[in-house]
Structure 1
Amino acid sequence: MTERSRSPYRSTRRGRGGPVPQPRRPRDPARRAAYDVLNAVQSRDAYANLLLPVLLRERGITGRDAALATELTYGTLRRQGSYDAVLDACVDRSLRSVDAEVLPLLRMGAHQLLSMDVPQHAAVSTTVDLARRVVGHHRSRFVNAVLRKVSARGLEEWLSALAPDRRTDPVGHLAVTHSHPRWVVQALAEALGEEPAGGLAETERLLAAHNERPLVTLLAKPGRATVADLADEGAAPARYSPYAAVLPEGDPGALQTVRQGRAAVQDEASQLVALALSRVPVDGADGRWLDMCAGPGGKAALLAGLVGERGGHLLAAEVQPARAGLVARAVHRSVGDSARVVVADSTRPPWRDGVFDRVLVDAPCTGLGALRRRPEARWRRTPDDLTELVPLQRALLERALDAARPGGVVGYVTCSPHLAETRGVVTGVLAGRDDAELLDAARHLPEVPGVAVDRFVQFWPHRNGTDAMFLALIRKR
């Protein structure tokens, strides 16, 4: 290769001193961006929803290229389990032995061949061309050979041949055909109250919903923006929350209300669980609210606006300094500057017990309720995570009940429907206390039908079009 061919510049015009170098546009920027995100997710546990927007912005990828990069990234992550089953049948050795840098290329190619409207020759040739540039000529030949085998059948035909029999192993069948780890399928079925012997029909609808691209939902921060303001910028009112609007397409960061910090991206169920906490009647004072696990700040922004309109104040605590910074930006210029953000471990709180009127515990969890938006979480989490998370969740709920004053109310929230993280935590904590009572949470969300489970609230993507948020409301006696 000559020095000229290695140069990242090309001459397109001349100046007084000769050719003026112009930056060379990367070849196939959409696929390269998608590969870089997928490789980072696999190699260093990056988050696609955080990394992809940064790469698109830094590389100036917009329009159709940005849409292609987004579909390649999220589509590949959502269907990764199904594609791995196909790829495993197409390599001469175990898929586990394939080089880590090559695997994202194979998955991307499989997604184009099996789930996108990309002509077969284009799906193979563009992936092989990218492979030459990122992993070298030798390994690109391997990519070419495997993808040509993949292209021999359609996705339905592959899954029909590879998935376990639905009658004898319904959990395994759904795991392969809908691309979820087996343990996740089992946990979701239990949360829905279904048994494998019954066929798992609703579980299958939920898994299918996880593989659909969700619309972007926005929060109009109380006192700073309205749904009408968002409608003026092309959004439509959401189904339930009076502060929510849905953006049918486009980049939410391009909206003026979002750039000004008056609105933000937030799932509708996340808004509703915070709203329900604010609606529970309390006797006496109602001006001291606490958000114990506030990062990255979506619910804190809503609560700060609501308490500010009542003349009160929110204390938002976050244990990680970087996430506390996100919270500070989210609540900036809330009504009456009603929020204060502190870096604190809420299991060892710096505040006194028995002083808050309302307390929110949005507990760290497996995130199984947001698999539409964070598809990589299904491959990153394992059942072992529960052994660390559940004790932490119980400790946080205990401290929340300690922080609430008599007559105050606590909202326990997880973005997971897993029974161990939801009902198991709440019933376990309440069994050891005589100073708290479980309220009927659904009574405080009358606009949302069908979310009541016993005295809890459970949202579902396939029923409500939201993340699978869980809510319990508890009164301090």
Structure 2
Amino acid sequence: MSGDGGADSGRRASRPSGGRARGAGSRGAASGSRRDRSVSPARVVAFDVLEAVRTSDSYANLLLPARIERAGLEGSDAGLATELTYGTLRRLGTWDAVIADAAGRPTDRIDPPVLDLLRLGTHQLLATRVPTHAAVNETVALAHRVAPAAAGFVNAVLRQVSRTDAEEWMRRLAESARDDTERLATTTSHPAWIVRALRSALAHEGRADELGALLDADNASPVVNLVALPGLGDAAVDELGAPDVYSPVGFTAEHPLALVAAHEGRIRVQDEGSQLAALALSRARPVEPGERWLDLCAGPGGKTALLAAEALAGGAALAANELVPARAELVRRAIAAVPLDVHVRVGDGTDLDPAELGAPGGFDRILLDAPCTGLGALRRRPEARWRKQPADVAELTAVQARLADAAFAALAPGGILAYVTCSPHTAETHGTIAAALKRWGEAAEPLDTAAAVRQVANRPLDLGGDGRTVQLWPHRHGTDAMFIALVRKRPEAEPAAAAR
């Protein structure tokens, strides 16, 4: 590594999340140091998670809690580690543009571990109340542990960043953009293709002017939302915390994780939009005892657990399918608190025999929470925006089409399918369901999904579209951007004749 931060070593063109470092002096923060310099444990944890996200495709929301616990962080230290990790990942594209300007070189000419340090320091300087001297000195101290030869370079770049405030940096970046899409991409830290996709999704509802609000919402820290599995809790939602705006079974609490731990699976972390998607299916019409339900792509099991509680209350049976064995095990753990015998099948959802899961005549209700780009949950999974590419959409829509056909084929006559994605991308939402309805022809009847969701909700929802589908939004509803479409198989249709 060169003495100024590796202008020529470890060089590689990459997505903003970078790649594995090549060269000496670039191991993790826990590997020791050449100098006895104190570094706050919160910053060590944040750097370690950033490095794991970059080098191992780890998910911050899964890794960070474990690292915080292992480091013994509590209170403000845990809060700082959380803010530094998620905040840096969310604003990574913007910080890279600032760093490139301050360093006088493109970020792909900076060694990846050094770039992670600069991102961490830049976030503290421009987006937190951390004093300038602490942000610079702590990051330089961490550099002495991670990449000693680059400590001087880190110090110089961060001091250059600190000479300009956040507002002026944003003005500079906006003025240097070639068009409005590039301006929004840089200043709100979204890849340009995602900016275009979100603009198109909003325009579908005549709300293109809300794009800025949506992009800002993606960069805001969401509250931890909880669900109390209906019929299984020992207290009403309003006794546990502040009830959700829309979900009748959701709430927020001052100490959410402690509450989850104390209730042995009966209270779970779950976004309000996910709750509404599951309840739209389970409460679309009264449950008749003996109904058979299926969660087709069940992992990791949050919606499965809510459906299991609803099935138990209504006298229905529930089965679940998951392709990945490790995720199937997560489903089993998720439903352990519900005293209902749920058959969890491990296998391809496009190759499913209803009889194998106890429904020889087909299922009365099926939830298809389809694999998608996840663009609707960028505020919770900040690294996802840097991992997905436009080419992923075509591959995913092909999978969604096959799964939708399999789900519709597995419906009993009169059964209801809920097609759900955690993405507002129109190709994955309106495009997928419109093409499926065309394939299914007269055997399929689109239902008034908006009416079903409004019937479930605590208060009126401001929904766009024609009512056949529902698109929830972070900036408008405070939920992830969940898409929901309910479709009924007409009673006269053959149980497995419609998929083709």
What's the TM-score once normalised by structure 2's chain length?
0.85
**Percent of paired sites with the same residue:** 51
What is the Cα deviation at residue 47 of structure 1?
0.4
Once the two structures are superposed, residues 329-352 of structure 1 have per-residue CA deviations (whole angstroms, 9 ceiling, x without a partner) of: 111131x42422121210111434
2:281 is aligned with 1:277: yes
Structure 1 range deviating more: 467-476 or 346-355 = 346-355
What is the Cα deviation at residue 26 of structure 1?
7.9
**Which of the residues 451, 467, 477 maps onto 2:480?**
467
The CA distance in 1 between the partners of 2:141 and 2:195, in whole Å, is: 37
Are residues 472 and 26 of structure 1, via their aligned partners in 2, closer, same or farther at CA, if it must alter by over 3 Å?
farther
Once the two structures are superposed, residues 255-310 of structure 1 have per-residue CA deviations (whole angstroms, 9 ceiling, x without a partner) of: 26655111100001100011011122379765200000001111000000001111
Given that 2:299 and 2:327 are in contact with CA atoms closer than 8 Å, whether structure 1 keeps it comes out as yes
Structure 1 range deviating more: 276-285 or 67-76 = 276-285
> Corresponding residue for 1:204?
212
- Divergent runs of 4+, >6 A: 282-285
The CA distance in 1 between the partners of 2:152 and 2:182, in whole Å, is: 33
Structure 1 range deviating more: 32-41 or 427-436 = 427-436
What is the Cα deviation at residue 452 of structure 1?
4.1
Once the two structures are superposed, residues 203-222 of structure 1 have per-residue CA deviations (whole angstroms, 9 ceiling, x without a partner) of: 00000111111111101012
> Corresponding residue for 1:179?
189
Once the two structures are superposed, residues 362-404 of structure 1 have per-residue CA deviations (whole angstroms, 9 ceiling, x without a partner) of: 0010000001111111111110111210100011110010010
What is the Cα deviation at residue 316 of structure 1?
0.9
2:84 is aligned with 1:72: yes
How many residue pairs get aligned? The number is 448
Structure 1 range deviating more: 25-34 or 74-83 = 25-34
What is the Cα deviation at residue 123 of structure 1?
0.8
2:399 is aligned with 1:392: yes
> Corresponding residue for 1:17?
none
What's the TM-score once normalised by structure 1's chain length?
0.89
Given that 2:321 and 2:347 are in contact with CA atoms closer than 8 Å, whether structure 1 keeps it comes out as yes
Structure number with the bigger relative contact order (C-alpha 8 A, sep ≥ 6) is 2
The CA distance in 1 between the partners of 2:247 and 2:186, in whole Å, is: 35
Are residues 309 and 171 of structure 1, via their aligned partners in 2, closer, same or farther at CA, if it must alter by over 3 Å?
same
Q: Which amino acid aligns with 1:89?
A: D
Secondary structure in 2 matching 1:101? helix
Select the structure that is richer in strand. Answer: 1
> Corresponding residue for 2:114?
102
Given that 1:225 and 1:257 are in contact with CA atoms closer than 8 Å, whether structure 2 keeps it comes out as no
Q: CA RMSD in A?
A: 2.4
Mark the runs of 5 or more structure 2 residues left unpaired by the alignment.
1-29, 491-500
What is the Cα deviation at residue 78 of structure 1?
1.1
> Corresponding residue for 1:430?
437
> Corresponding residue for 2:269?
265
Once the two structures are superposed, residues 214-267 of structure 1 have per-residue CA deviations (whole angstroms, 9 ceiling, x without a partner) of: 111101012211662x6555x2111111110112x44x3322665511110000
Are residues 95 and 277 of structure 1, via their aligned partners in 2, closer, same or farther at CA, if it must alter by over 3 Å?
same
Equivalences for residues 348-367 of structure 1 within 5 A: 348-352=351-355, 354-367=361-374
Mark the runs of 5 or more structure 1 residues left unpaired by the alignment.
1-5, 9-23
Are residues 319 and 25 of structure 1, via their aligned partners in 2, closer, same or farther at CA, if it must alter by over 3 Å?
farther
Equivalences for residues 58-457 of structure 1 within 5 A: 58-136=70-148, 138-164=149-175, 169-193=179-203, 201-225=209-233, 228=236, 232=239, 235-247=241-253, 249-250=254-255, 252-255=256-259, 259-281=263-285, 287-334=291-338, 336-352=339-355, 354-434=361-441, 435-446=443-454, 447=457, 448-454=460-466, 455-457=468-470
Are residues 392 and 282 of structure 1, via their aligned partners in 2, closer, same or farther at CA, if it must alter by over 3 Å?
farther
What is the Cα deviation at residue 162 of structure 1?
1.9
What is the Cα deviation at residue 141 of structure 1?
1.1
Given that 2:354 and 2:361 are in contact with CA atoms closer than 8 Å, whether structure 1 keeps it comes out as no
